[in-house]
Amino acid sequence: MRLGELIGGTTEVCGGDLLLRDAARRMVAGEMGSMGVIAGGKLVGIITERDLMKAVARGADPDAVSVDDWMTGSVDTFSPHVEVEEAALWLLESGYRHLPVVDGDRLLAILSIRDVLAAVVDPDRGQV
């Protein structure tokens, strides 16, 4: 099974100027652990629940600080043609919990470790 087979629905994105509190609200409302950060139509980073926790723990004012200041930049990305098992191994080795899937410069999805694990355990499950 390939990552592209897990993609369904839309992926939430934001600009780097979005305030941390607004990012947190959108993530809670959408029940997601991350959002892609887009600039000029390209993925420039990812803001995750871990990034938000770090910001708050270090005293950042979520009403004054933007996503740009706390996002994970230089994100590792994967093609939709990558095998799910390869992606699972990368997640395990890297310690990351979110996997951006891109086609060229276009963000297709951000798969979670849960999405990948479900595909490994139950390959018939398909899109998440």
CB count in 10 Å sphere of residue 54: 12
The residue to which tokens 């947190």 are assigned: 24
Read off the pLDDT of each residue in 110-114 and give the average, rounded to a whole number.
Answer: 91
pLDDT digits (tens, 9 = 90+) for 54-98: 999 999 999 999 999 999 988 899 999 999 999 999 999 998 899
**Domain of 18, in residue numbers:** 3-125
Beta carbons within 8 Å of 88's beta carbon, 6+ residues apart: 116, 117, 120
pLDDT digits (tens, 9 = 90+) for 10-63: 788 999 999 999 999 999 999 999 999 999 889 999 999 999 999 999 999 999
| Total structural domains within the chain | 1
* pLDDT recorded at residue 127: 52
Categorize the per-residue pLDDT at 126 as very low, low, confident or very high, splitting at 50, 70 and 90: low
With 0.75 as the threshold, say if the pTM is over it: yes
Q: Which helix (H) or strand (E) holds 111?
A: strand 106-112
Angle between helices 113-121 and 84-94 (to 10 degrees): 130
Question: Can you give the CATH number for the domain in which 77 is found?
Answer: 3.10.580.10
* pLDDT recorded at residue 125: 59
